Structure 1
């Protein structure tokens, strides 16, 4: 068995762990995020030009899993998790633009990729006689449904989803509460940042962990972030083979997990060009990349609610990747897009080009629109199906948005979520109640 890659915390550089341990734990013991000791370097020639998304993921992730118990299972894990398409199709309105559609999985959002991969790993690394584990998920809209779908009825696993009450779309809220069985949704009287803080506090509580083993399925979990690199690699490699030029990306982002996945693919040596971040009115990142000090702040509600994040967790990993501010600001650009502009973008593209976008994707489309003709190829990352945001999109375009079959099946189930105060101790008390 070859020497495995080790992982350490962003905060102390200690707590060396294998990928199996990292996936099981979610968060490092010191509250930091796990990162590899170094990012592997790969060459485009190492990938099968006829390979599927699962084949690309296997080749991409093999260095991260080598020498571990999961290494031999990696091809099967990728086939299980990545069994849907992530097409790159031309945009009707932009000669140099394409859209990378990541919403063709079970919950109609890009989070399906990481959640399904993580669930497939858990099925293999958890011994049959291990005590039940509770997976905590803070969601601003899409993560929770993807994790719930991936882990639904999985033996030995309970999923607890925290979401900000009234700050997700009605269909997102229904998705979060429609599973039952081993999945419980909690509607928190606060913001996504409150939910994220509560989850991190619980994961870092050793006494609580001793009584109720916990793990995470947010993008703070490296087991969710690593597979998200696969669709960037797959799209960029396909473009490279056809055009012999790097593909540039515009990524809608809130908590920075999806964007960081793109950055890491480029750092590994694959043909990704410029990366631009599209944010909503929560301007923590856009202000930082414009030169202000990095200043987390309370999140404000927007139409692009899944990006309503004022303190993005993965900024720690971004700073690990580029430790100095001047270096980091050379790597990325970020723009903030307000709700009025999101509305205008959705309406204009639907009426003029017949293109439908969710509010999050619309932020990235707007960034592309403002760039004009660059002569460079740009891929807008479409993170969710517009049908998940019917209460926003349909009144703007004046017609019904067709609902994907998997989403329709979820909407036909009854849904329920329990209320919870936005307090760390409230979650800990809830977790210590006897399990149903």
Structure 2
């Protein structure tokens, strides 16, 4: 299978080269020439087995083909459980109706990896894949990643002390949670974290400029681990296919997903799984107050906006990179708007949803997951009785300063997160200026 750029100005290439490059030379995002259909939608026992089945068609011509099963076993060594949400307990006619509807409410938990966020799955896959493609004589590769909170930590964990790789993380100073910032700067060794004096969009702009800089890439071996990378996009389709296939086998109907999103990578992965034939119904997107996507899906022209800081900071994106992929996969705006809907959720609603979630749903959500829970509640209020799963993108303990005052008790971090919090952390200051980043990248491997 060949892979092409969303901008159409780059020759088709194989997946190995697309993975190594990260971004296409014309500045576009790599996509498969076609999305293959899975031979069977019967559920596999483990997430790793599902991942292998989903990814194998894309790796038929890859040097990694014979190692793909082992790579998936390592990357998907922790599950992504689909759990039913709790029934409301109030005794009333309305509560009885809510209890009936809640039997179709599910949570897809994607926070059981080493950094307690959904990014762990694909980051680990990408690290294994790039290591497998590396030759002994190859120069050190710098993995450049812009993060709005969770991506950087997942990439750092996946590449930490991995021979032949250095990691440069860019994050917006003061616009991630304290625990997220700690998780970005606690690695050392081959990982450097930079707190950028700007927004996530500034970080993303700088990273994409570096990856499109031909002169720089001739001097430095550079790759990306953002969701613009195929190595992030394709593996994430696995947990959607896994959850949907098990749900269909048990309930006899497709599973609909509500995906909290900022840069659209996780949302695009759900669409890939759906197009590969996984029993997925509708896909809805939940954003925060950064409303570029809700305005577009409501009929406005696509118009990126300056980023606004919100409680759901990992979704603070005003110019989502993966929108290029969504447009590539649809004939026109009308078809895209028909396929997907999006709704924004403001901070006041996020707070109210978090506060009510223990009683209403039996969980404590992170702010991002709360946006999805609110959309679920809206759907039920409108009479929707289909089976819906909210995607839980991160563990609430990463946002304890927001969550704990709202639920009235401490939220214990999972063991891996607690371990990283116990290590010292530091980050270097960096202006939102490409020249400053260029200087860092040209000296990183020297």
Unaligned 5+ runs, structure 2: 88-101
Q: CA-atom RMSD, angstroms?
A: 1.1
1:11 counterpart residue number: 7
Q: Return the alpha-carbon distance in structure 1 between the equivalents of residues 284 and 330 of structure 2.
A: 16
1:300 counterpart = 2:296: no
The C-alpha deviation readout for 1:5-54, integer Å capped at 9, x for no partner, is: 00011002532111111111100001100011111112434x5x342100
CA shift in 2, pair 1:371/1:213, >3 Å? same
1:193 counterpart = 2:193: no
Q: Return the alpha-carbon distance in structure 2 between the equivalents of residues 251 and 107 of structure 1.
A: 19
2:395 counterpart residue number: 385
1:27 counterpart = 2:23: yes
2:214 counterpart residue number: 206
- Report the CA distance between 1:399 and its aligned residue: 1.2
Mapping of residues 46-57 of structure 1, within 5 Å: 47=42, 49-57=43-51
Q: Which of these residues, 68, 78, 89, is aligned with residue 83 of structure 2?
A: 89
1:275 counterpart residue number: 283
Q: Return the alpha-carbon distance in structure 2 between the equivalents of residues 34 and 355 of structure 1.
A: 37
Q: Return the alpha-carbon distance in structure 1 between the equivalents of residues 198 and 158 of structure 2.
A: 26
1:119 counterpart residue number: 127
Q: Return the alpha-carbon distance in structure 2 between the equivalents of residues 353 and 277 of structure 1.
A: 20
Mapping of residues 32-181 of structure 1, within 5 Å: 32-45=28-41, 47=42, 49-93=43-87, 94-181=102-189
User: Residues 43 and 270 of structure 1 are in contact (CA less than 8 Å); yes or no, is this contact kept in structure 2?
Assistant: no
SS at 2:443 equivalent: coil
User: Residues 44 and 237 of structure 1 are in contact (CA less than 8 Å); yes or no, is this contact kept in structure 2?
Assistant: no
Q: Which of these residues, 394, 403, 408, is aligned with residue 404 of structure 2?
A: 394
User: Residues 8 and 16 of structure 1 are in contact (CA less than 8 Å); yes or no, is this contact kept in structure 2?
Assistant: yes
- Report the CA distance between 1:307 and its aligned residue: 0.2
- Report the CA distance between 1:95 and its aligned residue: 2.4
**The 10-residue stretch of structure 1 (295-304 or 204-213) with the greater mean CA deviation from structure 2:** 204-213
1:415 counterpart = 2:425: yes
The C-alpha deviation readout for 1:49-92, integer Å capped at 9, x for no partner, is: 34210000101111100022111111001000000011000011
CA shift in 2, pair 1:177/1:62, >3 Å? same
Q: Return the alpha-carbon distance in structure 1 between the equivalents of residues 84 and 210 of structure 2.
A: 44
1:231 counterpart = 2:252: no
User: Residues 134 and 215 of structure 1 are in contact (CA less than 8 Å); yes or no, is this contact kept in structure 2?
Assistant: yes
Q: Return the alpha-carbon distance in structure 2 between the equivalents of residues 141 and 254 of structure 1.
A: 11
2:370 counterpart residue number: 362
- Report the CA distance between 1:96 and its aligned residue: 1.4
2:325 counterpart residue number: 317
User: Residues 15 and 28 of structure 1 are in contact (CA less than 8 Å); yes or no, is this contact kept in structure 2?
Assistant: no
Q: Return the alpha-carbon distance in structure 2 between the equivalents of residues 15 and 364 of structure 1.
A: 39
Aligned residue pairs, count: 430
Unaligned 5+ runs, structure 1: none
Mapping of residues 249-288 of structure 1, within 5 Å: 249-288=257-296
User: Residues 109 and 385 of structure 1 are in contact (CA less than 8 Å); yes or no, is this contact kept in structure 2?
Assistant: yes
- Report the CA distance between 1:428 and its aligned residue: 0.5
Q: Return the alpha-carbon distance in structure 2 between the equivalents of residues 354 and 79 of structure 1.
A: 32
Q: Return the alpha-carbon distance in structure 1 between the equivalents of residues 327 and 429 of structure 2.
A: 35
- Report the CA distance between 1:290 and its aligned residue: 0.5
- Report the CA distance between 1:122 and its aligned residue: 1.2
SS at 2:68 equivalent: helix
User: Residues 9 and 26 of structure 2 are in contact (CA less than 8 Å); yes or no, is this contact kept in structure 1?
Assistant: no
The C-alpha deviation readout for 1:219-252, integer Å capped at 9, x for no partner, is: 0000111000000000000011112211000000
User: Residues 89 and 100 of structure 1 are in contact (CA less than 8 Å); yes or no, is this contact kept in structure 2?
Assistant: yes
Q: What's the TM-score once normalised by structure 1's chain length?
A: 0.97
SS at 1:433 equivalent: helix
User: Residues 140 and 307 of structure 1 are in contact (CA less than 8 Å); yes or no, is this contact kept in structure 2?
Assistant: yes
